[in-house]
Every structure is written in C-alpha cells, then in structure tokens.
Amino acid sequence: MKNATPTVLPLFSAIHPDHIVEQVKEFIEKANKAIDKICNTATPSWHTVLQPLEDLSAKEAILWGPIRHLNNVESFPELRAAYDEALTLWTAYHDAIGQNTRLYQIIARIKENPAFEALTKAQKTVINHALRDFHLSGVDLDDDKKEQYRDMSEELASLASKFGANVLDATKAYTRALHHEEELSGLPDWLITETKKKKKDLPILTLAAPIYSAVMQFADHRPLREDMYVAYVTRASDVGPFAEKWDNGPIMRKILKLRNELAKLLSFENYAELSLATKMAPSSVEVLAFLSALAEKATPIAKKEMAELKAFAKEQSGLSAVQPWDLAYYSEKLQLQKYAYSSEELRAYFPLPKVLAGLFELLEKLFSIQLVPQENFDRWHEDALLYQIQNKEGHVCGHLYLDLYARPGKQQGAWADECVPRYRDGAGQLHLPITFVACNFSRPGENTPSLLTHNDVMTLFHEFGHALHYLLTEIDEPSVAGTNGVAWDAVEFPSQLMENWCWSEEVLTAISSHYQTGESLPKALYEKLLASKHYHCGLDLARQLEFSLFDFRIHLHYNGQSPKWIQTTLDAVRRLVAVTPIPHYNRFQNSFTHIFDGGYDAGYYSYKWAEVLSADAFQRFEQEGLYNGTLGQEFKDKILSRGGSEDAMDLFVDFVGRKPQIDALLVSLGIKD
C-alpha cells in the first residue's frame, strides 16, 4: 500500500470522560456546517456531495471508535455516563442527517443524472444505500412525525445502553466464596488458582464466562452449580440474588414498544419487517419458514439426546429429575464415557500463544498476510496486543488490536469491531483500517499460559473472520468497506466460515502444543474429538432456534400486549423447540444483549442464515484444499475485499457458482448424513 498515509494509532490514555461530550459536540458542529455547504452545492456529483460525506463518516469513526471500544472493555461509572450522553448526541445527529430533505434530494439528483452510470460499483452502492436509509430514517414524514421519530430513536439508544450496563453491573456484582473442601471437588486446578482471593487464599467465584462455564461443567458439588445457575439466569431481572436492582424488564418492554411504534411510523407492519429492509432474507415468512424447517429437523434429535442424558444421570447418580444446573455437568461426563476424553484434557493442548501462532500461520497460507507484533503503542490495559497486518509484498494493509482475557468492567462475550475504516479521502490519500478483537478467555496463571477449550478456539477463529472482513477490504468508500453496508444476515458468513478449520487435523496439529510437554494434539485424541463433533448437535441447535424464534416473534407480533407477554412468548417458543428443563424464575431474556443492545434485533436468526452460506462455501475448501492459497485468494477477492459494495447474494454466487443450499448446513451440524 505504497500510497497509504502513515497510520495514526488511537491514544487511549488521552481519552478522559470529562472531554468526551465536548469533543463530540465540536465534531457535530463542524459536521453540520459541512453538510450545509454540501446541500448548497451548485453542481451535485460524487466529488462534491458523497465524497465529503464519506470523509465525515470516516472522521466520526476515528473519534468515536476508540471511545466505544474503551466503554466496552474498561467500563466505569464516569466513562459510562459520558458515553451515554455522547450517544444521545450522535443519535440526534444521525437522525437529523437521515431526515435532511435537501441532502436527500441532492443525492437523488445524482442518482438520476446520466453520470451515475459512470461511477464504480461501490460508489453506486453508497448512493443506493443512502437513499434507502433516508426513507428508513423518516425523510418522507411530515415535521411532527419526524420529531416523533427523533425522540423515539434517541430514547431507544439510551435504553439499549442502559440494558447493557445493567447486565454488566449484575454480572460484576455476584461473588460466591468456596468455604468448604467439598465445594472444590471436580473443579479444574486453573479455576481454583484464578479465583483465589489474595489475602485469605480463598477461592471466590464470579459469573465471568470462563469461570461460570467451568463450574457448570465440572463442579461435583450440586448445590454450588445450582447457586451459580440461579445467579446467572436471573441477572438484571426481578428475581434472584439482586432482585430488581438492575431489572431490565421495564426496559425491554419500552424498547419493544418504541421499536414497534417506529416501524409503524415508517409504514411497516411491525419492527421485524423494518429490520428485514437491510437484510438478505426477503420476508418474515421466509425467516420463519427457515427456522421452522431447522426446528423440524432438530427437535426429534434433541429429544433423543435429552432422553439419553437423563438415563445417564440416573444411572450415574440416581437422579430422578435432571435440573438445568445438571445439564453441562452430565453432558461432560457422558462425553467422557462415549468418546473417552474430557474438555479439560483438550484444554492442556491449546495454550493461547500457540493457538495464535498457528492461526497466524493459517492466515498467511490462505491470504498471504503476516501479523507482525508491535511493542510500543498506547494501551488501554496491559492485556492489549497490537499487530501490523502486512501483505505478501510487505506493504502494510491495517492494524489489529487483541484483548483476549476476562476481567471486571469488560463486556462479556467475544466480538470484533471497527476502530478506523479503510477509506480514501477527498485529497486522494488512502487510510488503512484498524480493528479490535475482544474475547473473555481465562487469564494465565503464575506458571501456566491461558489454556483454551476447543470452543474457545472456535470463538477466536470466528472473531478473526470478522477481523479479516474489516482488514482485507479493498473498498475506498468507508460506508461500504469492511462489514459496513453488508446485509446483517450475511455479516456472519466469513466468521462462521473460519470456524470450520477448527476441525481439521492438520490445523489442530499446527495450533496445539501441550503446555507442559510441547506435544501436538495426538492423533488418537483428535479422532475422539472429531467423533464427538456432532455430540448433542440437536440440543445445541434447539437452543439456538429458541433464541432466534423468540427474538423474531417478539418483534413480529408485539402490539402493546401486557407486561407478561415477553415471558409468555418465550414460554411458547420453548414449548415448541426446547427439550431441556427450564425453571419458572429463568430470566434469560433480561440479559439477551444481542437483541436489546447488540444490533441483532429481529436478526438473531442471522447466525444460522449465515451458517448456511459458510457451510456451503466451505465445501470448496474441503474439495480443493484447506491450505489452498489460490482458493483463499479467491475468497479474499470475491468476498472479503468487496465489503458491502455489492449484494451479498451476488458475491456468494460469484464464489460458489450457485445460490446457497441448506443441505450443507444440515450435514455440517450432523443433522443429515
């Protein structure tokens, strides 16, 4: 990238809560003046209208991306308050742009001009998306309704932020001390070491994902598992250890009400229909048919698997009734009996540094890129790592930050996010992308590295799929570069695709090294892992369908129902697809951040929708070579590099040669031979 400007990395240490709101106000003031100037141009064209707007979009990302990231990974009250206030300002700013009739009309004139046909595909897409988004932002409404839209939009942004903050606070608040020796039975050594309180040398459990999962899988002490389960499934709700303190119930109801009102204001039947306006799926009918078809395949298998698990628990422990806090525990024990290996045995072979090195080697072979570690950079936390991405010619094509360990104040889960998009500014200078990947893996011990489960490995590969989408884009317009402008139900395509390499013997050998002996994953152990690939595939799919159907139904059918309606809708979905016991106090929905604070509203089905794309596309790699650099380059050229500049289905067909077929997914999931 010889013509790229030198990358300016964010100064996280210079981000202070006291300055954030003023910085955002200053940006918005300058941006509004620039937009007024654009609206007064006498010769509307790409260069006089869209290019300045793209520049503004990129500059906004440069300011806001690091702040948003800091709020996700190092949240504290002062930062959160400033973030929320600034988020309200951003929402109002974007709503005003989306309802700017003069700006809409001038862009529409560019579309109608014969010169439009001479623009690049990406530039045409930017214009088409902009015109679509004007309508979705209420540009056609009268002034009173425009104001209603803006008020609802601002309130929704505030409510979503509050929802996420409540989940974080409720998660952080819970601790459980282990006072008795019997409570330690079955727990892995790394967990006991990680959770010991320094002064009293007493293990203190939290609801951090690695700790919670390990307790549910391995703790022999059943009351401990029950305590942890109850605390986890009642977070941010009206029941449980912190009943009503951070209750998201009223927030959920308000969010659904406002989303429904917003959709109807824009002349949609419901919020699900509004959501689909920017997705691949053509209609609610098709989404429900897709999910129902999967449910029809999954449910009989899930029931059979659940019956086997119940019989096993009764045989092992005399349990007459398996409870939710027993599922992961006996599932682990049954897996050990069936396949003669445990998750903890696998963990020893996946120290994080070795997994990263092996992953980087795979990326080099597939996409001809190198990740070069950087030492001197401004960190938000000592955990942060930075890599420079170089192509085969040695040219820099972006930067990647990693933040991989769980800690208090950090959002749970795993994600990739844009810090700076790739873009070419009005002066012709190319700016390169900067991307974040965050996970919540267990921390290294005094004498041991962070050890990953196989699921952790898949999570890491998944998030790197998103990062590649950001980093390997070759689109110069930021609003359609990387994942920007990609249909939401296609965004997960590259990330789901990357997970497939986690089942290859060659790849697992390359990314594994026993943390004590240095031995790669033995062939015998690999064969056991592979044999268990579809273990509880029905139960896993049924759970994902529960999430997807619940999400879609509440956004499709909401119409001012009673406060209990959300729970009754979830109960109805569970009667349809769930086969595991679920207690009456379970408030999973109250911490479902994906759909109430994560952008997956009426779109959680996207994970399975995109998995159809990934399973189908991966067949080419299975046939032509998992390390096939020529094929990897083709995937980069036809999918990753194109970002959102072209229709997602057209890009898929260009790579695979036909439209996606669900059979590949069913085979991948073990539902079909």
Domain residue extents for the chain: 12-98+100-136, 175-233, 249-341+537-604, 352-476+489-531+607-669
pLDDT of 673 reads 74
Please tell me what DSSP assigns to residue 483.
T
Q: What is the distance between the alpha carbons of residues 665 and 672, in angstroms, rounded to a whole number?
A: 9
Q: Which of 463, 477, 492, 646 is catalytic?
A: 463
Please name the fold of domain 249-341+537-604.
Neurolysin; domain 3 (1.10.1370)
* Cα–Cα distance list, 242 to 88, 175, 248, 296, 325 (Å): 29, 12, 12, 38, 19
The predicted structure's pLDDT at residue 671: 87
* Pure H helices in 323-482: 324-339, 343-347, 352-367, 454-471
d(CA 251, CA 233): 17
The tokens describing 6, both together, are: 């030198």
Instruction: Tell me if 145 sits within 8 A of 138, measured CB to CB.
Output: yes
Residue 215, amino acid: V
What is the C-alpha separation between 472 and 640, in angstroms, rounded?
6
pLDDT tens digits for 91-140? 999 999 999 999 999 999 999 999 999 999 999 999 999 999 999 999 99
Task: Assess whether 74 carries a catalytic annotation.
Answer: no
**Hey, CA dihedral for 455, 457, 458, 463, is it positive or negative?**
positive
What local confidence, expressed as pLDDT, does residue 188 receive?
94
Contacts of residues 45-53 at CB distance under 8 Å and 24 or more positions apart, as own/partner, are: 45/110, 45/113, 45/115, 46/110, 46/119, 46/123, 47/426, 49/106, 49/107, 49/110, 50/107, 50/110, 50/123, 50/126, 50/127, 50/130, 51/426, 52/426, 53/130
Q: What percent of the chain has pLDDT over 70?
A: 99
Range 628-634 average pLDDT: 98
Query: What is the DSSP secondary structure assignment for residue 428, as one 8-state letter?
Result: S
Q: Identify the CATH homologous superfamily for domain 12-98+100-136.
A: Endopeptidase. Chain P; domain 1 (1.20.1050.40)
Domains 12-98+100-136 and 249-341+537-604 agree in fold: no
In CATH, the architecture of 352-476+489-531+607-669 is Orthogonal Bundle (1.10)
Mean pLDDT in residue range 80-84: 96
Predicted confidence at residue 564, as pLDDT, reads: 94
- Locate 668 and state its tokens: 């991948």
Encoding tokens for residue 262? Answer: 């917003």
Distance CA 389, CA 28 (A): 32
On the question of pLDDT at 201 being above 80, the answer is no
Which whole number is the average pLDDT over 373-388? 97
CA 467 to CA 417: how far, in whole Å?
8
